[in-house]
A and B are shown apart, each in its own frame.
Chain A
Amino acid sequence: MTPSEIIDRATFAGLLDNLGGDVDFLGELVETYLASSPELVAGIQQAIAAGDAPTLQRAAHSLKSGSASFGALAFAAQCRELEEFGKTGALAEAQLKSAALAEVYAQVAAALQAELHTARRSPA
């Protein structure tokens, strides 16, 4: 997948617009997302391994929310499914769905950094 397929540009641009075009603050948000998401990805996998459905639901919920706000819509949809599995206690399905979660997240992180880089170079 190319960065533009991983991050929905309209959503990303909409977020920047909502921030009044403040690229620095957008950068802070992206950095916070990149700093907090690996823990959430690991938390999802640990919760599945421990059979802890409520923790799975909460971690997937947060990751979904943050990812969707930056336009990582496919990844957010994957998190949404995991959240639902956590809610219903379908841990076997969650196990299958989360198999490549860390790899997908790594793609999202790289694409997001690329989008931020582009936004920083674009005239306000």
Chain B
Amino acid sequence: MMEIKGRILVVDDYVLNRMQLKRALETQGHTVALAEDGRQALEMLNAGDYDLVLLDILMPEIDGFEVLTRLKNDPARRDLPVIVISALDEMENVVRCIGMGAEDFLPKPFDPLLLRARIGACLEKKRLRDQEVEYLQQVARVTAAAAAMEAGDFTPDSLDDVAARPDELGQLGRVFQRMAQEVVAREQALKQQVHDLRIQVDEARKASQVAEITESDYFQQLQSRVGDLRKILDT
């Protein structure tokens, strides 16, 4: 199975840990960004897009607990996986962090094989979760399209990305899109027919009005007078 590569934010106030983790992660093909403390980490998380955070606990000012709390309270980032970096003699902190929503922990000193395994498992879980979220969002798009269809403001290309899926949902999207396009096309044809009929009716009405006038006694008299006048003028 191909290993997933990710954008990883390493948060550690100790330069040696940052250096070692950066080196190990880059060797494994990941893209790495470094934060020297909790404050910088939060700024970087607000500004950038990451797949995973490796988080030290004991840091000045804003520590790992605080960073974790803020991440888990942020609806936009609460699903971002966090692996806590910790010495084996700090298990109580690790347990607390996992209770707060951290995904896993990585013992110091770092073992590259364990690092690879935990990062890989975490990124795979994130990939599956992202897929599930995307699936549910696209299901919601199909139901919204159905509501838009009923309301008469459906636009067929709003389902293009759902229809592009290779699975059953994609098939549903394609069928829905095609049927909707047919309904829209039929509606447009009916509208055109109604428009054409209206023009014909208008023309018939005008013809009828003209006939009504030309067949009236008054019109006949006028026409007769015009004839008489022409004769006088011709003589």
* A interface, over-half SS: helix
Complex CA gap A69/B108 in Å reads: 8
For residue A28, CB closer than 8 A to chain B, the reply is yes
Residue from B16, B23, B24 within 8 A of A65 (CB atoms): B16
Complex CA gap A62/B110 in Å reads: 14
Q: How many residues of chain A have a CB within 8 Å of chain B?
A: 22
Q: Give the interface size class of chain B.
A: 20 to 34
What's the least CB distance linking A56 to chain B, in Å?
A: 12
Complex CA gap A62/B109 in Å reads: 12
**Contact flag A32-B108 (CB < 8 Å), given A20-B27, A58-B59, A65-B87:** no
- Please give the residue numbers on chain A whose beta carbons come within 8 Å of chain B beta carbons, in ascending order: 11, 15, 18-20, 25, 28-29, 32-33, 36, 55, 57-58, 61-62, 64-66, 68-69, 80
The reply to whether A62 and B108 contact each other, CB–CB distance below 8 Å, is: no
The reply to whether B23 and A15 contact each other, CB–CB distance below 8 Å, is: no
**Contact flag A18-B16 (CB < 8 Å), given A64-B87, A65-B87, A69-B109:** no
Residue from B19, B27, B58, B112 within 8 A of A61 (CB atoms): B58
The reply to whether A36 and B16 contact each other, CB–CB distance below 8 Å, is: yes
**Contact flag A65-B17 (CB < 8 Å), given A20-B27, A58-B58:** yes
Residue from B20, B27, B58, B59 within 8 A of A69 (CB atoms): B20
The reply to whether B108 and A68 contact each other, CB–CB distance below 8 Å, is: yes
